[in-house]
Structure 1
Protein backbone atom coordinates (compact mmCIF):
# COMPACT_ATOMS: atom_id res chain seq x y z
CA UNK A 1 0.00 0.00 0.00
CA UNK A 2 2.84 2.38 0.79
CA UNK A 3 4.40 1.69 -2.59
CA UNK A 4 1.06 2.38 -4.27
CA UNK A 5 0.70 5.71 -2.46
CA UNK A 6 4.29 6.63 -3.29
CA UNK A 7 3.71 5.88 -6.95
CA UNK A 8 0.44 7.81 -6.93
CA UNK A 9 2.12 10.89 -5.47
CA UNK A 10 4.89 10.54 -8.01
CA UNK A 11 2.94 9.57 -11.13
CA UNK A 12 -0.14 11.80 -10.78
CA UNK A 13 1.75 15.14 -10.76
CA UNK A 14 3.93 14.05 -13.68
CA UNK A 15 0.84 12.95 -15.59
CA UNK A 16 -0.94 16.22 -14.74
CA UNK A 17 2.01 18.28 -16.02
CA UNK A 18 2.18 16.20 -19.21
CA UNK A 19 -1.58 16.67 -19.82
CA UNK A 20 -1.24 20.42 -19.16
CA UNK A 21 1.54 20.68 -21.73
CA UNK A 22 -0.45 18.66 -24.27
CA UNK A 23 -3.59 20.76 -23.81
CA UNK A 24 -1.52 23.97 -23.75
CA UNK A 25 0.20 23.11 -27.02
CA UNK A 26 -3.15 22.27 -28.61
CA UNK A 27 -5.24 25.27 -27.51
CA UNK A 28 -2.66 27.73 -26.16
CA UNK A 29 -1.45 28.67 -22.70
CA UNK A 30 -4.02 31.35 -21.92
CA UNK A 31 -6.91 29.12 -22.97
CA UNK A 32 -5.50 26.29 -20.84
CA UNK A 33 -5.34 28.52 -17.76
CA UNK A 34 -8.86 29.75 -18.51
CA UNK A 35 -10.09 26.18 -18.82
CA UNK A 36 -8.49 25.27 -15.48
CA UNK A 37 -10.08 28.30 -13.79
CA UNK A 38 -13.48 27.55 -15.34
CA UNK A 39 -13.24 23.94 -14.19
CA UNK A 40 -12.38 25.03 -10.67
CA UNK A 41 -15.27 27.51 -10.56
CA UNK A 42 -17.71 24.92 -11.92
CA UNK A 43 -16.42 22.37 -9.44
CA UNK A 44 -16.72 24.78 -6.51
CA UNK A 45 -20.29 25.61 -7.51
CA UNK A 46 -21.20 21.93 -7.92
CA UNK A 47 -19.55 21.01 -4.64
CA UNK A 48 -21.43 23.71 -2.79
CA UNK A 49 -24.77 22.70 -4.33
CA UNK A 50 -24.32 18.95 -3.95
CA UNK A 51 -22.76 19.30 -0.51
CA UNK A 52 -25.84 21.14 0.72
CA UNK A 53 -28.11 18.55 -0.85
CA UNK A 54 -26.13 15.68 0.70
CA UNK A 55 -26.19 17.41 4.10
CA UNK A 56 -30.00 17.84 3.91
CA UNK A 57 -30.45 14.16 3.03
CA UNK A 58 -28.20 13.18 5.95
CA UNK A 59 -30.18 15.37 8.37
CA UNK A 60 -33.51 13.99 7.11
CA UNK A 61 -32.28 10.42 7.54
CA UNK A 62 -31.09 11.14 11.08
CA UNK A 63 -34.37 12.86 12.00
CA UNK A 64 -36.40 9.93 10.69
CA UNK A 65 -34.33 7.55 12.83
CA UNK A 66 -32.65 5.72 9.96
CA UNK A 67 -29.07 4.57 9.74
CA UNK A 68 -27.23 7.15 7.61
CA UNK A 69 -24.55 4.85 6.19
CA UNK A 70 -25.22 5.66 2.53
CA UNK A 71 -25.63 9.36 3.28
CA UNK A 72 -22.35 9.53 5.21
CA UNK A 73 -20.56 7.75 2.40
CA UNK A 74 -22.11 10.18 -0.08
CA UNK A 75 -20.87 13.13 1.98
CA UNK A 76 -17.38 11.65 2.13
CA UNK A 77 -17.38 11.21 -1.65
CA UNK A 78 -18.48 14.85 -2.14
CA UNK A 79 -15.72 16.00 0.23
CA UNK A 80 -13.12 13.91 -1.64
CA UNK A 81 -14.36 15.33 -4.94
CA UNK A 82 -14.00 18.85 -3.61
CA UNK A 83 -10.46 18.15 -2.47
CA UNK A 84 -9.61 16.78 -5.91
CA UNK A 85 -11.05 19.89 -7.54
CA UNK A 86 -8.77 22.08 -5.43
CA UNK A 87 -5.71 20.42 -6.97
CA UNK A 88 -4.89 22.15 -10.25
CA UNK A 89 -4.97 19.81 -13.22
CA UNK A 90 -7.32 18.16 -15.64
CA UNK A 91 -6.98 14.58 -14.40
CA UNK A 92 -7.84 15.43 -10.78
CA UNK A 93 -10.68 17.67 -11.99
CA UNK A 94 -12.21 14.77 -13.92
CA UNK A 95 -12.08 12.48 -10.88
CA UNK A 96 -13.34 15.29 -8.65
CA UNK A 97 -16.31 15.91 -10.91
CA UNK A 98 -17.05 12.18 -11.01
CA UNK A 99 -17.27 12.29 -7.21
CA UNK A 100 -19.54 15.33 -7.13
CA UNK A 101 -21.95 14.88 -10.05
CA UNK A 102 -25.13 13.21 -8.70
CA UNK A 103 -25.45 10.47 -11.32
CA UNK A 104 -21.83 9.25 -10.99
CA UNK A 105 -21.57 9.66 -7.21
CA UNK A 106 -23.18 6.25 -6.41
CA UNK A 107 -20.63 4.55 -8.67
CA UNK A 108 -17.75 6.32 -6.90
CA UNK A 109 -19.30 5.49 -3.52
CA UNK A 110 -19.50 1.79 -4.43
CA UNK A 111 -15.95 1.88 -5.77
CA UNK A 112 -14.72 3.42 -2.51
CA UNK A 113 -16.67 0.92 -0.42
CA UNK A 114 -15.24 -1.96 -2.44
CA UNK A 115 -11.70 -0.61 -2.03
CA UNK A 116 -12.00 -0.10 1.73
CA UNK A 117 -13.71 -3.46 2.23
CA UNK A 118 -10.82 -5.23 0.49
CA UNK A 119 -8.31 -3.20 2.49
CA UNK A 120 -9.96 -4.04 5.81
CA UNK A 121 -10.20 -7.75 4.92
CA UNK A 122 -6.51 -7.77 4.01
CA UNK A 123 -5.58 -6.03 7.26
CA UNK A 124 -7.75 -8.40 9.28
CA UNK A 125 -6.18 -11.43 7.61
CA UNK A 126 -2.64 -10.25 8.40
CA UNK A 127 -3.45 -9.20 11.96
CA UNK A 128 -1.82 -11.23 14.74
CA UNK A 129 -5.29 -11.47 16.31
CA UNK A 130 -7.01 -12.80 13.18
CA UNK A 131 -7.45 -16.33 14.57
CA UNK A 132 -8.95 -15.20 17.87
CA UNK A 133 -12.24 -14.08 16.40
CA UNK A 134 -13.14 -15.79 13.12
CA UNK A 135 -15.32 -13.57 10.99
CA UNK A 136 -17.28 -16.20 9.07
CA UNK A 137 -18.36 -19.14 11.21
CA UNK A 138 -20.94 -21.66 10.15
CA UNK A 139 -23.50 -22.73 12.76
CA UNK A 140 -22.47 -25.97 14.31
CA UNK A 141 -21.08 -27.53 17.45
CA UNK A 142 -19.18 -25.22 19.77
CA UNK A 143 -16.14 -26.28 21.78
CA UNK A 144 -18.27 -26.88 24.89
CA UNK A 145 -20.74 -29.09 23.03
CA UNK A 146 -23.53 -26.54 22.50
CA UNK A 147 -24.97 -25.53 19.16
CA UNK A 148 -25.04 -22.00 17.72
CA UNK A 149 -28.49 -20.94 16.56
CA UNK A 150 -28.80 -17.63 14.76
CA UNK A 151 -31.94 -15.74 15.60
CA UNK A 152 -33.48 -12.54 16.84
CA UNK A 153 -34.35 -11.54 20.39
CA UNK A 154 -37.69 -9.80 20.85
CA UNK A 155 -38.30 -8.19 24.22
CA UNK A 156 -41.75 -7.21 25.32
CA UNK A 157 -41.87 -4.49 27.93
CA UNK A 158 -44.24 -5.37 30.75
CA UNK A 159 -45.70 -2.56 32.77
Structure 2
Protein backbone atom coordinates (compact mmCIF):
# COMPACT_ATOMS: atom_id res chain seq x y z
CA UNK A 1 0.00 0.00 0.00
CA UNK A 2 2.85 2.38 0.82
CA UNK A 3 4.37 1.68 -2.58
CA UNK A 4 1.13 2.57 -4.34
CA UNK A 5 0.83 5.83 -2.39
CA UNK A 6 4.44 6.72 -3.13
CA UNK A 7 3.87 6.02 -6.81
CA UNK A 8 0.75 8.21 -6.81
CA UNK A 9 2.56 11.06 -5.04
CA UNK A 10 5.22 10.96 -7.76
CA UNK A 11 3.12 10.07 -10.80
CA UNK A 12 0.23 12.52 -10.37
CA UNK A 13 2.29 15.71 -9.88
CA UNK A 14 4.65 14.71 -12.70
CA UNK A 15 1.72 14.10 -15.06
CA UNK A 16 0.08 17.39 -14.02
CA UNK A 17 3.30 19.31 -14.59
CA UNK A 18 3.79 17.71 -18.01
CA UNK A 19 0.21 18.59 -19.02
CA UNK A 20 0.58 22.18 -17.81
CA UNK A 21 3.88 22.59 -19.67
CA UNK A 22 2.35 21.08 -22.82
CA UNK A 23 -0.66 23.41 -22.57
CA UNK A 24 1.60 26.42 -21.98
CA UNK A 25 3.65 25.47 -25.05
CA UNK A 26 0.58 24.86 -27.22
CA UNK A 27 -1.18 28.07 -26.20
CA UNK A 28 0.29 30.80 -24.03
CA UNK A 29 1.85 30.58 -20.56
CA UNK A 30 -0.44 33.37 -19.31
CA UNK A 31 -3.48 31.49 -20.61
CA UNK A 32 -2.36 28.38 -18.76
CA UNK A 33 -1.82 30.34 -15.55
CA UNK A 34 -5.21 32.04 -15.94
CA UNK A 35 -6.86 28.65 -16.55
CA UNK A 36 -5.41 27.26 -13.32
CA UNK A 37 -6.52 30.31 -11.33
CA UNK A 38 -10.01 30.50 -12.86
CA UNK A 39 -10.73 26.79 -12.39
CA UNK A 40 -9.56 27.07 -8.78
CA UNK A 41 -11.83 30.06 -8.07
CA UNK A 42 -14.88 28.66 -9.88
CA UNK A 43 -14.36 25.23 -8.35
CA UNK A 44 -14.05 26.58 -4.81
CA UNK A 45 -17.26 28.61 -5.25
CA UNK A 46 -19.12 25.56 -6.60
CA UNK A 47 -17.77 23.35 -3.82
CA UNK A 48 -18.80 25.94 -1.22
CA UNK A 49 -22.34 26.23 -2.60
CA UNK A 50 -22.81 22.47 -2.88
CA UNK A 51 -21.24 21.99 0.53
CA UNK A 52 -23.75 24.33 2.16
CA UNK A 53 -26.64 22.67 0.32
CA UNK A 54 -25.44 19.25 1.47
CA UNK A 55 -25.02 20.56 5.02
CA UNK A 56 -28.64 21.76 5.01
CA UNK A 57 -29.76 18.38 3.64
CA UNK A 58 -27.85 16.60 6.43
CA UNK A 59 -29.51 18.82 9.06
CA UNK A 60 -32.93 18.16 7.53
CA UNK A 61 -32.41 14.40 7.54
CA UNK A 62 -31.27 14.48 11.17
CA UNK A 63 -34.34 16.57 12.06
CA UNK A 64 -36.54 13.92 10.43
CA UNK A 65 -34.85 11.23 12.51
CA UNK A 66 -33.03 9.61 9.59
CA UNK A 67 -29.33 8.84 9.34
CA UNK A 68 -27.96 10.95 6.45
CA UNK A 69 -25.52 8.35 5.10
CA UNK A 70 -25.94 9.33 1.44
CA UNK A 71 -25.63 13.03 2.22
CA UNK A 72 -22.57 12.47 4.40
CA UNK A 73 -20.91 10.55 1.58
CA UNK A 74 -21.78 13.43 -0.78
CA UNK A 75 -20.19 15.85 1.69
CA UNK A 76 -16.97 13.83 1.71
CA UNK A 77 -16.85 13.75 -2.11
CA UNK A 78 -17.61 17.49 -2.35
CA UNK A 79 -14.80 18.21 0.13
CA UNK A 80 -12.46 16.05 -1.93
CA UNK A 81 -13.57 17.95 -5.05
CA UNK A 82 -12.70 21.24 -3.36
CA UNK A 83 -9.22 19.99 -2.48
CA UNK A 84 -8.68 18.74 -6.03
CA UNK A 85 -9.88 22.01 -7.55
CA UNK A 86 -7.52 24.20 -5.55
CA UNK A 87 -4.64 21.92 -6.50
CA UNK A 88 -3.07 23.25 -9.71
CA UNK A 89 -3.44 20.85 -12.60
CA UNK A 90 -5.63 19.68 -15.45
CA UNK A 91 -6.42 16.13 -14.28
CA UNK A 92 -7.14 17.19 -10.70
CA UNK A 93 -9.47 19.93 -11.96
CA UNK A 94 -11.34 17.52 -14.22
CA UNK A 95 -11.71 15.02 -11.40
CA UNK A 96 -12.82 17.76 -9.00
CA UNK A 97 -15.45 19.08 -11.41
CA UNK A 98 -16.68 15.52 -12.03
CA UNK A 99 -17.21 15.12 -8.27
CA UNK A 100 -19.19 18.37 -8.16
CA UNK A 101 -21.66 17.37 -10.90
CA UNK A 102 -24.41 15.34 -9.17
CA UNK A 103 -25.20 13.01 -12.08
CA UNK A 104 -21.49 12.18 -12.42
CA UNK A 105 -20.98 11.93 -8.65
CA UNK A 106 -23.71 9.26 -8.37
CA UNK A 107 -21.91 6.53 -10.40
CA UNK A 108 -18.59 7.46 -8.78
CA UNK A 109 -20.22 7.05 -5.37
CA UNK A 110 -21.72 3.69 -6.39
CA UNK A 111 -18.33 2.48 -7.62
CA UNK A 112 -16.62 3.58 -4.38
CA UNK A 113 -19.25 1.78 -2.29
CA UNK A 114 -18.79 -1.45 -4.27
CA UNK A 115 -15.00 -1.11 -4.00
CA UNK A 116 -15.33 -0.63 -0.24
CA UNK A 117 -17.55 -3.69 0.08
CA UNK A 118 -14.95 -5.80 -1.73
CA UNK A 119 -11.92 -4.52 0.16
CA UNK A 120 -13.23 -3.93 3.69
CA UNK A 121 -14.95 -6.36 6.01
CA UNK A 122 -16.81 -5.16 9.09
CA UNK A 123 -16.94 -7.41 12.11
CA UNK A 124 -18.49 -6.71 15.46
CA UNK A 125 -18.13 -8.37 18.80
CA UNK A 126 -20.19 -8.41 21.96
CA UNK A 127 -19.84 -9.91 25.40
CA UNK A 128 -22.87 -11.97 26.37
CA UNK A 129 -22.93 -13.78 29.71
CA UNK A 130 -19.16 -13.40 30.02
CA UNK A 131 -18.42 -14.87 26.58
CA UNK A 132 -17.24 -12.85 23.60
CA UNK A 133 -19.06 -13.52 20.36
CA UNK A 134 -18.20 -12.36 16.84
CA UNK A 135 -21.56 -10.73 16.39
CA UNK A 136 -24.13 -9.54 18.87
CA UNK A 137 -27.22 -11.68 19.40
CA UNK A 138 -30.13 -10.74 17.16
CA UNK A 139 -33.42 -9.79 18.74
CA UNK A 140 -36.44 -11.93 18.03
CA UNK A 141 -37.97 -11.08 14.63
CA UNK A 142 -41.15 -9.56 16.05
CA UNK A 143 -39.50 -7.42 18.75
CA UNK A 144 -38.28 -3.86 18.65
CA UNK A 145 -35.53 -2.26 20.71
CA UNK A 146 -36.73 1.13 21.87
CA UNK A 147 -33.80 2.20 24.02
CA UNK A 148 -30.90 0.62 25.80
CA UNK A 149 -28.13 1.64 28.18
CA UNK A 150 -25.49 0.09 30.41
CA UNK A 151 -25.71 0.28 34.18
CA UNK A 152 -22.55 -0.38 36.14
CA UNK A 153 -22.98 -1.74 39.64
CA UNK A 154 -20.78 -0.09 42.24
CA UNK A 155 -19.46 -2.11 45.12
CA UNK A 156 -20.03 -0.43 48.48
CA UNK A 157 -17.10 -0.63 50.90
Alpha-carbon contact 1:50-1:102 (below 8 Å) kept: no
**How far is 1:67 from its partner?**
1.5
Q: How many correspondences in the alignment? A: 135
Q: Secondary structure at the match of 2:116?
A: helix
Q: CA deviation at 1:54?
A: 0.7
| 1:120 Cα deviation after fit | 1.2
1:1-159 to 2 correspondences below 5 Å:
1-121=1-121, 133=134, 151-154=141-144
TM-score, normalization: structure 1?
0.75
Q: Secondary structure at the match of 1:77?
A: helix
How far 1:56 sits from its partner (Å)? 0.9
Over residues 36-89 of structure 1, what are the superposed CA-to-partner deviations in whole Å (9 max), with x where a residue is unaligned?
111111101110111111111111111011121101101011011111112111
RMSD: 2.4
- In the TM superposition, what whole-angstrom CA distance separates every residue of 1:96-151 from its partner, at most 9, and x where no partner exists? 11111222121222232223333313x97xxxxxxx848xxxxxxxxxxxxx9983
* Unpaired segments ≥5 residues, structure 2: 124-132, 147-157
Shift in Å, 1:28: 1.2
> Alpha carbons of 1:77 and 1:152: their partners in 2 closer, same or farther (altered >3 Å)?
farther
Specify every segment of 5 or more residues in structure 1 that has no aligned partner in the other structure, as ranges.
Answer: 125-131, 135-147
CA distance in 2, matches of 1:94, 1:53: 22
Structure 1 outlier segments of 4+, above 6 Å: none
- 2:143 match: secondary structure: coil
Q: Distance in 1 between matches of 2:29 and 2:144?
A: 68
Q: Separation in 1 of the partners of 2:67 and 2:139?
A: 26
